[in-house]
Structure 1
Amino acid sequence: MTLHRRSSRPAAVVALATGLCLVAGCGTAAKKTDSAASGGTQTTTAATGTSSAPAAAPAGQKVKLSVVSLLPGSTKEAFKAFNDQVAIFEQAHPDIDVQPHEYEWKGTTFAAQLAGGTLPTVFEVPFTDARTLIGNKQVADLTAQVRQLPYAGTFNPSVLAQGQDSKGDIYALPKGAYGVGLQYNRALFTKAGLDPDKPPTTWDEVRADARAIASKTHQAGFALMGKSNTGGWNLAMLTYALGGRLETVDSSGKATVTLANPGTKAALQWLKQLRWSDNAMGSNFLLDWGSMNQAFAAGKVGMYLSGSDVYTNLVQANHVKPETYGLTVLPMSDSPDAGLLGGGTEVVVKASATDAEKAAAVKWMDFYYLSKLTDQQAAVRDAKTLVASKQPVGTPQLPLFDKATLDTYMSWISSYVDVPLGQMKGFTDNIFNQKLQPEPPVSTQALYGVLDTVVQKVLTDKGTNIDQLLAKTTPIAQQAVDKAS
């Protein structure tokens, strides 16, 4: 996967661990996509359409701007909410023709889409891929445009750093940030005789609850993603929570893969017991992010690991019943290095975009993703639009701006919040007590791809020797990381 390049800013990545804090943010339309743009110097508020920079195109010319919309299979109500927002934007900007494209980021297909030029002009990527694309100069420099946004100085610096290069130039803007949480099905908890208002707080309790769910409901008590780099992603979550790390990075930015750490060994041993001793993980070990969400919403999974913001997608694309949803924090081991893996999504513009397309793209990014967090009219308009189409408002996320900005934003939308926050208290009440840590900083997706095979091996081969497996896989992972960096 030649897509991935070593980050030249390990310090900026580490800053994510200390700079993020949690608030309940407004849910947005899509999950896991990519792009970046540079060019014109304009900014627009979503509610008024006023601009503080040059127009996206000369008078009389209309810019066609392709953008990602929602995941394939999202509900008609979700698409209506998105299309309503497009109409509002185009009314404020008659010189821009927004052309939406359904899209889901997948590690196994993204490189080919990027190389083949099939991505829209504005697309979304995980934090980990944004660093790679920036290093490879595969997305456009947005510095001039972003600096003119009225809220440019209030970004959470640790979040903004994920879209900057070593010189501090801005190539990507954050769509959202998350901390990992334990998603659980309250209905399956009840059927298994468990109290859905008392989710597990230790990994032993997770295992016991998974056994109860599997035994009494015949569904997977706990399920793990296993392909398209998501198996490695989930294994990283468990590793971090148990005090391990998958890479060390020296002062030059060189990464050394450290798979045989106690945290990863403990994570795999826990999974092996849950799978083979408890028979509590079901039979499908090739789920990815989309298919896991689908299985969970269908009542086939009791618990799984994912970002704290996944509820939005569960509603938009998977028709989850709100009353069945629960969210709590991941248990942490007693290790002083135990930490919560965090991440997020960046919005970028393809490097080949024209100046007019780049200017239009920044207007769209301001309108659709960011101004609703900084402008009262835009915040209320966005919340009303989402509520009218029965879309989530209030899904827990990490802040993109400073605390004062976010507190003000929450006061604007408080009357429109429609997510079951009472069923997420295990997460929102306890997340401040957890130490947030960034994902492995070098060639992250390449590393996750190799770890998919480790997860699959443990869950499909009862006789797997974990020590031998990690010893065998480490040089393979190191080669993949070196090649991609």
Structure 2
Amino acid sequence: MVTITVNGMPPKTQPVDRKYFEDDVKAFEKTHPDIRIDAREGFMDPKTFSAKLAGGQLEDVYYVYFTDPAGLIQRRQGADIAPYLKDVPYLQDIKPEFMKVFTGPDGKVYGLPNGQYSMGLVYNRALFQKAGLDPDKPPATWDEVRSAAKKITALGNGTVGYADYSKNNQGGWHLTSWIYSMGGDVAVKDGATWKAAFNSDAGRKSLQMLHDMRFTDNSMGTRQLLEIADVQKMMGSGKLGMYMAGPDNIPTIVKQFERKYSEYGVAAMPGSATLGGGNGFMFNPKATPEKIKAGIAWVQWKYLNPDREEFNSKRASGDGVPMGLPLDRLFDGAAQEKNDAIHAKYANVPVENYAPFVERNGQLEQKVEPPNAQQIYTVLDGVMQSVLTKEDADIDRLLSDAEQKVDSILATVK
């Protein structure tokens, strides 16, 4: 008998998710009688992680975001799990780009993904129709976004064609997405060090497009310095055509503003690449081989298991959880096809509205956030704010000044 500590258990304030988790623990233990799960709330907190590890308080299996593994691997704060992966079901079906997140420079594997997202465009199908646009063929390039935004804005009555964030680090996050979509990078590794990379053609094109949509076309409205809640409210009011977001934004809008799922569509990110993120689990470097093997069994069974997808989908749809949104597409080939078929069977949202996202998203390069992302986003917030509030903003100067600040931030990456 081996007992493993795991985190990621939903809090009691999320009763449905909490019950699912507790039921799954019981079911897992019934089918794995030699393993016991000691589940705990919370995720990996960078501020307390090292102290918990040093003090022996870190869970055997701990939840991380895709931005965490590179640093944890470099600091040897995660266990190498490669020796225990030989017979793990469906491992070979996980998309290589997600396994790469948990692979070290030494080629060893230090964790497993359990969720992912990709940025795209959430849009109002009714406004597309009113503006003479085809809601089943949303924009695939930024020029098409700009053209569509102008037509939607021309409807009048306070309608805004396109909105974007520019504060509380969300502006920097979205500018990173813009730059990726234009074929650029925000940070690149130069030997052993990282350097800012956004003072580039892609950076200038992104900011020029935002500036022109804001001031030349007047298709972004006069109110700026927005964050996610502001833009979701605009979309929920029926007065916004499009904004950059993942498909998971749609349930929030529907629930908070009493809208219908049929009103919204989601498209893949315009351009050649998208910012993709996600989460997964890594393993305590002090854990025994028995605990690591038990932890891998738990993560695979609970999170990476097409064999349980029918049960999970039926359970969720029965409780009114939105099913059919293009989320957590972790697999390739037959495994993903199996999941997709099950999700379609139990769908309670209009999956056809998300076909443009599914069809194009797989063709885009999926790029993760830069190291020290939140600090970088603070700097890039200022760039977004200037471009969206000052008609005479000097884009070259903004990029140059931000580059110096971000280089200083990246110099601290270890």
Class of the TM-score when normalised by the shorter of the 2 chains: 0.7 to 0.9
Deviates more, 1:319-328 or 1:360-369: 360-369
Q: Is the 8 A contact 2:235 2:241 kept in 1?
A: yes
Q: Is the 8 A contact 1:124 1:345 kept in 2?
A: no
Instruction: Tell me the residue number matched to 2:33.
Output: none
Instruction: Tell me the residue number matched to 2:174.
Output: 234
Instruction: Tell me the residue number matched to 1:418.
Output: 348
Instruction: Tell me the residue number matched to 1:383.
Output: 313
Q: SS at 1:259's partner residue?
A: coil
Superposition TM-score, scaled by structure 1 size:
0.70
- 1:436-465 deviations in Å (ceiling 9; x for gaps): 152466555543342222112222333321
Counterparts of 1:184-333 in structure 2 under 5 Å?
184-190=123-129, 194-214=133-153, 216-250=156-190, 252-277=191-216, 278=218, 280-281=220-221, 283-288=223-228, 292-293=231-232, 296-297=235-236, 299=238, 301-308=240-247, 310-311=249-250, 321-332=260-271
Gaps of at least 5 residues in structure 1 are 1-54, 58-62, 333-338
Amino acid at match of 1:408: K
1:206 is displaced (CA, Å) by 2.1
Instruction: Tell me the residue number matched to 2:412.
Output: 483
Instruction: Tell me the residue number matched to 2:70.
Output: 131
Amino acid at match of 1:151: Y
- 1:17-61 deviations in Å (ceiling 9; x for gaps): xxxxxxxxxxxxxxxxxxxxxxxxxxxxxxxxxxxxxx432xxxx
Q: Do the aligned partners of residues 99 and 254 (structure 1) sit closer, same or farther apart at CA in structure 2, a change above 3 Å counting?
A: closer
Instruction: Tell me the residue number matched to 1:6.
Output: none
1:160 is displaced (CA, Å) by 0.7
Instruction: Tell me the residue number matched to 1:69.
Output: 10
Deviates more, 1:462-471 or 1:182-191: 182-191
Aligned: 1:112 with 2:112: no
Amino acid at match of 2:100: A
Instruction: Tell me the residue number matched to 1:347.
Output: 280
- 1:223-278 deviations in Å (ceiling 9; x for gaps): 2233454322321222233333334444x343332322122112111112222340
Separation of aligned partners in 2, 1:408 and 1:190: 34
Amino acid at match of 2:145: V
Instruction: Tell me the residue number matched to 2:2.
Output: 56
Separation of aligned partners in 2, 1:56 and 1:314: 44
Separation of aligned partners in 2, 1:295 and 1:220: 9
1:383 is displaced (CA, Å) by 0.8
Superposition TM-score, scaled by structure 2 size:
0.80
Q: Is the 8 A contact 1:223 1:282 kept in 2?
A: no
Aligned: 1:450 with 2:379: yes
Separation of aligned partners in 2, 1:423 and 1:430: 13
Amino acid at match of 1:341: T
Separation of aligned partners in 2, 1:345 and 1:358: 22
Q: SS at 2:302's partner residue?
A: helix
% same residue: 28
Amino acid at match of 1:136: R
Matched residue count? 402
Amino acid at match of 1:368: K
Counterparts of 1:63-102 in structure 2 under 5 Å?
65-69=6-10, 79-93=15-29, 95-101=36-42
Amino acid at match of 2:10: S
Q: Do the aligned partners of residues 324 and 361 (structure 1) sit closer, same or farther apart at CA in structure 2, a change above 3 Å counting?
A: farther
1:392 is displaced (CA, Å) by 2.9
Q: Is the 8 A contact 1:132 1:443 kept in 2?
A: no
Amino acid at match of 2:186: L
Deviates more, 1:112-121 or 1:260-269: 112-121
1:424 is displaced (CA, Å) by 1.7
Separation of aligned partners in 1, 2:298 and 2:250: 24
The RMSD of aligned alpha carbons is 3.7
- 1:76-102 deviations in Å (ceiling 9; x for gaps): 7xx42552342143244274353445x
Select the structure with the greater relative contact order (CA < 8 A; seq sep ≥ 6): 1
